[in-house]
């Protein structure tokens, strides 16, 4: 005998479902009546629902809570056409640093990241040495800890991406970001161990995703550049410099300062070469630009 579980979701189309964006609620038809349900929305949901046209929805029950997935049809605003670039470097101590010197992260986030890492290590050690029941309990706690850490990173990523896109609108400028493709798997070896380490230390792919959809919704262009050598090249003169943790010093021109800021300036510089006529195939890199492989304006210190 085959047993079937009770359906845990209901599908709606526009005949029996309506979104009231201003009131942040939905109107749905239930068995006996039509109900208006208040929505709990975050910045991401508000951005996606703004001025959109819902096409369908699915009401789901997870545990004792109800969720609604809304499919929308929306048109992105026309992108602004600018030459100014706001570079963004992803770091270990500071999650993101812009080419204007604005930093996101700092000691508080570092302490929280270290706290989660310490708790994971303790639970892992207990899971190895404990009994079967204690190992099961440790795994449950590890899952809860992972969920809590993921929610924290998601919140911070929303705040950072919103601030960066807002600043790009104010300038106005397009956003240039490191291309992270293949770094986690170690495919892009030339980016270096330091770059791979920082990608693994935070939800940077999620941050990139949030920057992407927020920039699209705001009409701000977002371009990707090759991260290779951006942390080793002096943005002031284009020569190879010395990086020591958060510090960078150029032995040629003497410039010294925050290493991530230096990287962000290089990323902004490379961002000018994206989508330019006569550029080489693939992403622009510092090495290609400074060796003259890309046909673009001459490098000038800023």
Tokens of 242: 């010395």
Phi and psi angles of residue 98, each rounded to the nearest 5 degrees, phi first: -95, 165
The string over 184-205, giving b where at least 16 C-beta atoms fall within 10 Å of a residue's C-beta and e elsewhere, is eeeebeebeeebbebbeebbbe
Q: Is the pLDDT of residue 165 over 90?
A: yes
Distance CA 202, CA 90 (A): 10
pTM of the predicted protein model: 0.69
Where residue 228 falls among pLDDT bands split at 50, 70, 90? confident
pLDDT tens track for 174-190? 999 998 764 444 434 44
- Between 72 and 278, the more confident residue is 72
Where residue 286 falls among pLDDT bands split at 50, 70, 90? confident
81 Cβ contact partners less than 8 Å away, ≥ 6 residues apart: none
**116: how many CB neighbours lie within 10 A of its CB?**
15
**103: how many CB neighbours lie within 10 A of its CB?**
16
pLDDT for residue 184: 45
Q: Is the pLDDT of residue 221 over 90?
A: yes
Average pLDDT for 235-247: 94
55 Cβ contact partners less than 8 Å away, ≥ 6 residues apart: 13, 14, 71, 72, 73
Closest CA to 177 of 100, 81, 85: 85
2 Cβ contact partners less than 8 Å away, ≥ 6 residues apart: none
Distance CA 212, CA 200 (A): 20
């Amino acid at each position: 005998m085959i047993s079937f579980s009770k359906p845990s979701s209901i599908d709606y189309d526009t005949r029996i479902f309506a979104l009231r964006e201003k009131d942040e609620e939905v109107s749905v038809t239930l068995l006996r009546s039509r109900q208006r349900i208040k929505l709990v929305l975050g910045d991401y949901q508000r951005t996606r629902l703004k001025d959109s046209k819902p096409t369908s929805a699915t009401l789901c029950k997870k545990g004792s809570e109800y969720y609604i997935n809304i499919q929308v049809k929306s048109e992105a605003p026309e992108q602004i056409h600018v030459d100014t670039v706001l570079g963004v470097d992803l770091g270990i101590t500071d999650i993101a640093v812009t080419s204007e010197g604005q930093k996101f992260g700092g000691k508080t986030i570092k302490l929280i990241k270290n706290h989660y890492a310490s708790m994971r290590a303790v639970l892992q050690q207990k899971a190895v040495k404990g009994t079967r029941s204690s190992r099961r309990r440790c795994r449950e706690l590890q899952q809860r800890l992972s969920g809590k850490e993921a929610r924290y990173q998601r919140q911070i990523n929303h705040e950072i991406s919103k601030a960066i896109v807002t600043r790009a609108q104010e300038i106005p400028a397009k956003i240039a970001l490191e291309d992270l493709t293949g770094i986690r798997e170690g495919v892009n070896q030339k980016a270096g161990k330091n770059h791979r380490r920082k990608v693994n230390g935070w939800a940077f792919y999620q941050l990139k995703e949030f920057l992407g959809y927020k920039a699209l919704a705001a009409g701000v262009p977002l371009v990707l550049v090759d991260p290779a050598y951006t942390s080793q090249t002096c943005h002031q003169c284009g020569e190879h410099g010395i990086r020591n943790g958060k510090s960078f010093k150029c032995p040629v021109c003497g410039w010294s300062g925050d290493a991530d800021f230096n990287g962000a300036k290089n990323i902004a510089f490379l961002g000018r070469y994206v989508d330019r006529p006569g550029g080489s195939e693939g992403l622009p890199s510092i090495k290609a630009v400074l060796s003259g492989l890309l046909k673009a304006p001459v490098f000038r210190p800023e």
